[in-house]
Structure 1
């Protein structure tokens, strides 16, 4: 005969029969799989990267945008030239400054009519209008060439490129510009440039002379084009 399981004194029969075995018991809740080491830190790093604000660049300053440092460090104020070179630079600066002031005085005397009286005198066949026209062309060209020379001088000195071999250019450049402006004035008056002078004011003559003198290289290039048109361009040498 089989023996029946007798319940313990403190258990009821239903409780004893409904008990589930402890080993191999299945549960509805499942434990989360263990995370790999460093996975949480990488996720947090990605989140921090996404939340990271863009770095703000420093606002541009006047010193960094509008001042030419000439490749010098802040506080480097001493001259790169020795005493003899500085003396020669002062000679160039004084010369260009004197030419500039004399040109302004000549413009004033021409505007007053004193230049015409000094050079022409009692000439009865001379036309003061034509004289003043070409005088303003010439003086405007000299002033333009002198201002270009002033700009060139302080640039090469500041950048350490000044040399005394350029002195001949600094001496004759204003007068070369004045001659180019005078020639441009004659070409304008004759109509060879394809332009006609419709204004008879002194400001127009001076302005055209100044532009021709300041950009003397382009003015001379334009005259080269006119010469090629009138006289024909020289045949180019055959290529070897």
Structure 2
């Protein structure tokens, strides 16, 4: 099976579990953006993809008007328009600022605090979001790596999902969470008319299910070995099965006799 992953997604644990459950069907990983992922699924180059969906406004729960991958439903994730869309999780949003920036004095940043900050926006922007009332300069960058380098050069600040910030760490920058910014929802998608035989197994692995609870036919997960019970030492002063005091009782110190 071939699986497309967007940047920031780490599949190490998934690959390990997949190899245990489906050793005869290796899981090959391809990396790239969400738009390219959808095109690859449509062309049959990959069987499924983990993509970023349109962000959700944290105050209203509504999806924003940011452009979504072509051909992919932008409403509540479900099976529609020929796609199977399985929600996975929503990544928190952070802001990357220069190391000596004034915003580094706080533990977290409000979206309103970014209204006057110059922004750096990569061409592969995962959020498509501007802070409310933003009226400062916006600098375009070809990709996230270049955007982080521009932040390090104090051109502006960068708002993006936390996983992407971790993947592009720079010692000259600092990261702060933005709790009231929209998160980045991720989903596993594939074409309903070309569903891989192990698609449901993949869903179970990505959601952390055991093989017993997944709707597939993979090899069951190995059962953990029961822990050995330690034999407690004989208590001091107890009698042996013969009724005689144990050696510990005979050699123990008692109170001195009074004279």
TM range (shorter): under 0.3
- Give TM-score scaled by structure 1 length: 0.16
Bigger CA radius of gyration: 1
Higher relative contact order (CA 8 A, sep 6+): 2
Please give the TM-score of this superposition, normalised by the length of structure 2. Answer: 0.15
Structure with a larger share of its residues in strand: 2
More helix by share: 1
